[in-house]
Amino acid sequence: MKFTFYHNNINVADLDKSIEFYKKALGLKITKETEAADGSFKLVFMGDDTTPHKLELTWLRDMDRPYDLGDNEIHLAMQTDDMAAALEAGKVARYVSDFPNPKVVHMKHVILTPHLGASTRESEDNCAVMAVQEITDYLENGNIKNSVNYPACDMGVCQAASRIAVLHMNIPNMIGQITAILAAQGVNISDMTNKSRDKYAYTLLDLEHKPEETTVEKLKAIEGVLRVRVVK
């Protein structure tokens, strides 16, 4: 069994006016008309003499108010072999596309946008600024935003005497081992956060004084720790 596309329906308040519009604007012709015996509705089918697709205009006698999107949410898609000529003749008022090309760029009454919003000049500038700000925040405060493989983690600007960042695997007892080593070295933790994404995790710790190099080396020696960075 095969189904093929047949027609679109549009409910209209003024049938004669609608028929005249589609004749003049798109060159459509009436191919079939149907009217209820009691006059409650009329159906008019229009076509382009080229494709089998039909536009059905439905008029309802008892519809006592103008149609809005809640009553009649539809769209009609048509294509032309010469958009430039259609625009020039006024058959098409505006042509909007998100796939600009050298030919379309020089047409009149055309609105072109990038296919990707990030491709605009403003977006390119904003992305460049954002990238610098995020890298700077990572270097100065250890905060992570928009990483591909690490979780977002933000402890704001470091106000403590020191801050360390530990990049490690997302496995049990990592926090316990990290805090145990710091405690054994007499380093008090004033604040901390731990975030994970899939198999990776990230721990930021604010300390009351800067850890000695031996303490950092012990943290690095923990199985599953990938990197220890003294941010401040």
pLDDT, one tens digit per residue, over 162-186 is: 999 999 999 999 999 999 999 999 9
Find the Cα–Cα–Cα–Cα dihedral 163, 164, 169, 171, rounded to 10°: -60
Average pLDDT over residues 138-165: 95
Does the pLDDT at position 1 exceed 50?
no
Average pLDDT over residues 11-32: 93
Q: In Å, how far are 63, 131, 212 from 122, measured between CA atoms?
A: 48, 14, 46
Q: Which CATH architecture has domain 147-230?
A: 2-Layer Sandwich (3.30)
Q: Which CATH architecture has domain 1-78?
A: Roll (3.10)
In this prediction the pTM is: 0.54
pLDDT tier, 2 (very low <50, low <70, confident <90, very high otherwise): low
- The encoded tokens of residue 190 equal 């004033």
Average pLDDT over residues 127-152: 94
Instruction: Give residue limits of the domains in the chain.
Output: 1-78, 147-230
Identical fold for domains 1-78 and 147-230, yes or no, is no
Stretch (H or E) spanning 227: strand 225-230
The dihedral built from the CA positions of residue 59, 64, 65 and 71, taken in this order, carries a sign that is negative
The pLDDT value given to residue 100: 85
User: Which of the pair, 72 or 48, is modelled with greater confidence?
Assistant: 48
Does the pLDDT at position 140 exceed 90?
yes
